[in-house]
Structure 1
Amino acid sequence: MVDWLDACRSGDINALLDLYDEQAVLECTCEGASLTGRDSLSSYWAGKRRDQPADAFTLDDMTVTEDGVWVDYRNDRGNPVRAHFRFSSSGKIKSTSCKPL
């Protein structure tokens, strides 16, 4: 998850997308987004790279679960968010669901 946060902070879309499975799913209740696949994810994340506050994509807490990991972090606007990541057998992110805290 450190690599994911680092890629988000740096704005390296290619590094970020490399962490995702080809058919990864993102369900974001923060914005009402439901996306599938790297092309959709690329468009979604490209819009997050503008005018970020200093605390954007900082880790607040992380908890390993039976089927993935819960990550509490600050989103691109500096707001607290909780995301649940699940991983494929190859270690790529296969699904993410997030909600505001």
Structure 2
Amino acid sequence: MRILVTGGAGFIGSHLCEYFLDRGWDVVAMDDFVTGSRHNLAGLAARRGFALVEHDVTEYIRVDGQLDWVLHFASPASPLDYLELPIQTLKVGALGTHNALGVAK
């Protein structure tokens, strides 16, 4: 199985990446690192089946190869982020979801 996790460098996304890698899945983590952290992926980067794509989900999403699942967890996800990044938060919620659905179909 092959899965795309948007927001893959965030707290929840990085744990999901690890969860699926531990079960033998191929994982594509996508993040633009506005609020996600490379530190969250440090233990995953060298693992077999893991790929990182640095990309803003508010832009068209293209992933080479077949995907079995798409999990959309990209979002600035704290009250402080909402205050500092209100437009980005809305764009990720609307356009990011639209683009994640597009790659899922």
Same fold (TM over 0.5): no
Between structure 1 and structure 2, the one with the greater Rg is 2
TM-score by length of 2: 0.28
**Higher RCO (CA-CA < 8 Å; seq separation 6+):** 2
Q: Greater share of helix residues, 1 or 2?
A: 2
